[in-house]
Structure 1
Amino acid sequence: MQPRRLIKTLLTLSSLLLAIMTTNTASAAQNYIGLRSGPAPAFPIVFEVTEFRELRPVSRRGSWLLVTDERNRGWIHVDDIHKIRSFPRDEMWKLINDARPGDTRLEFGLSSDEAYSFSIIGQVFSEKLYAAYTRGPEGRTSWSKLEAGVTREFGEIQDDIRLHWRAGLGYGMEGTDSTHWRLADDEPVWLGAGGVEAVWQVERYFEIGLRGDVSVTLDADTTTHTTASLVWRIRI
């Protein structure tokens, strides 16, 4: 092979190798952001976009934003939208501020059996958990309940009225003359608890709801106790 042809061939191969290396480096440097099928970490990622993809916000639910590139759509948490460089900075901060308060709620409730309750509801990993303390009328017939479990949304009546179910375990206690849990003695008893509720988001920080609860004693003499409660929630 002539020296000139050999040099030309080597230059061509070098150019091809450099182009391949540049392409691989650019691909490796790209960051991909997963968009989910629903507004929670439990929903699967339906497609991924690069940080330079042009996305348009469609709607918002809590701290999640539904976005589209005019062909596909998916949900992204507001804490991740800074990764999308196509969002204008002023619009991005407005979306973040509008999504606050977060997913934590403080609740006060009054029930049909003249009891009051305090609860906290919050997101832990992919689950929404709650913890509640309920106290009956004061005196020798007083009773109380500690309860914790999981709650999930399963439907909506309108955009601002949503349906949830909840299920958990509780610990029931009662006073000397109380027959609320129908215990033969004053010893506490384990409870299975569940309920369904409709919650109306009155405004950004405040919710009001109506809930039906069922508590079942987990002992030899199983008893069932049902109540209806009116609840008020503050989002923080």
Structure 2
Amino acid sequence: MQAKLDNRLLTRAVARWVAHITKLAALGIGLVSFSHAEPLQLHLGPSYAYPVTTDIPSDVTMIPIEKRLDWLKVRVGEYSGWIHIDELEKVPHVKRPEPAQFRYSPDPLVQLELSASTESALGVAANFEMLDQDVSVRFYHSARNSQEWNALEFGLNRVFRDSEKWSWSGYLGAGVGLNESGSGRWSDEGKEETLPIVAASTEISWKIDHNFSVGARAQTQQALAGNSANHGALALVWKIRF
């Protein structure tokens, strides 16, 4: 009788030991899986269309800087970039800064800009987000002596480098140019003419404030009709974001 009782106690002890070992093994597998979790990716802008700037571990501390729709701009050490809020479920620690440091906008931001170029042309533009792309509508007018012309463009902006103090971006667009009567910009005969153009530019902007920046731009316009002339210029640009 005593032997049967001892066997039962031994069987229960072995069962408890096996269950304990199983739990430890499951926990170890979970830890290994977590340690091999895929890294998170920071993007240059608030869209998957922007290139990835860096990969970061999923167990780091992120500091939110700005929110735009479902995207959050964060700082991780010396790096900063945009991450979709769904990715934050993978992050165990997200440090929220003071309200003054966090800029939230439930709607897409609109950035207005003014420019003055070496061609004595003044420009106005609106930059905004459409279909997950940063787009720009630009209008230029020049009345230098008798060389009067106008141009209206629509194109895409792309950020190549973005930091807390400055950014480097590019633009590619197309539109129409109006050569006023007597102007030789796009007509050798000085005819009044409306013609298609393509345009490109690159610029470096310095961030004076969260919503205000000043930039230096190199730009060019290529006529696709008329005298097919190409005109390049340098411009100073002021930008304010709402």
Residue 74 (structure 2) pairs with residue 57 (structure 1)? no
Q: Which residue of the partner structure matches residue 159 of structure 1?
A: 164
TM-score when normalising by structure 1: 0.65
Shift in CA distance, 56/125, structure 1 to aligned 2, threshold 3 Å: farther
1:1-236 matches, within 5 Å, as 36-40=41-45, 41=47, 42-43=49-50, 56-58=61-63, 60=65, 63=68, 64-66=72-74, 75-77=82-84, 91=96, 94=99, 97-99=102-104, 103-137=109-143, 141-156=147-162, 159-184=164-189, 185-219=191-225, 221-236=227-242
Give the drift of 1:189: 0.9
The answer to whether the Cα contact below 8 Å between 2:126 and 2:137 also exists between their aligned partners in 1 is: yes
Unpaired segments ≥5 residues, structure 1: 1-34, 48-52
- For the residue of structure 1 that corresponds to 2:225, the secondary structure is coil
The answer to whether the Cα contact below 8 Å between 1:135 and 1:143 also exists between their aligned partners in 2 is: yes
Shift in CA distance, 232/167, structure 1 to aligned 2, threshold 3 Å: same
More strand by share: 2
TM-score when normalising by structure 2: 0.64
The answer to whether the Cα contact below 8 Å between 2:156 and 2:173 also exists between their aligned partners in 1 is: yes
CA distance in 1, matches of 2:214, 2:226: 37
What is the identity, as a one-letter code, of the residue corresponding to 2:116?
L
- For the residue of structure 2 that corresponds to 1:120, the secondary structure is strand
- For the residue of structure 2 that corresponds to 1:176, the secondary structure is coil
CA distance in 1, matches of 2:175, 2:187: 16
Q: Which has the larger radius of gyration?
A: 2
> CA RMSD, aligned part only?
3.9
Give the drift of 1:135: 0.4
The answer to whether the Cα contact below 8 Å between 1:142 and 1:175 also exists between their aligned partners in 2 is: yes
Shift in CA distance, 93/192, structure 1 to aligned 2, threshold 3 Å: same
Unpaired segments ≥5 residues, structure 2: 1-39
Shift in CA distance, 96/123, structure 1 to aligned 2, threshold 3 Å: farther
Shift in CA distance, 123/171, structure 1 to aligned 2, threshold 3 Å: same
Shift in CA distance, 183/133, structure 1 to aligned 2, threshold 3 Å: farther
- Deviation sequence 1:128-183 (CA, Å, 0-9, x none): 11000100017754210001100101125x53111111111021102211112235
CA distance in 2, matches of 1:193, 1:130: 12
Q: Which residue of the partner structure matches residue 15 of structure 2?
A: none
Shift in CA distance, 80/214, structure 1 to aligned 2, threshold 3 Å: same
- For the residue of structure 1 that corresponds to 2:182, the secondary structure is coil
- For the residue of structure 1 that corresponds to 2:103, the secondary structure is helix
Give the drift of 1:78: 7.0
Shift in CA distance, 62/142, structure 1 to aligned 2, threshold 3 Å: farther
**Matched residues, percent identical?**
20
What is the identity, as a one-letter code, of the residue corresponding to 2:219?
D
- Deviation sequence 1:67-101 (CA, Å, 0-9, x none): 77xxxx9843579979x99768xx47838843459
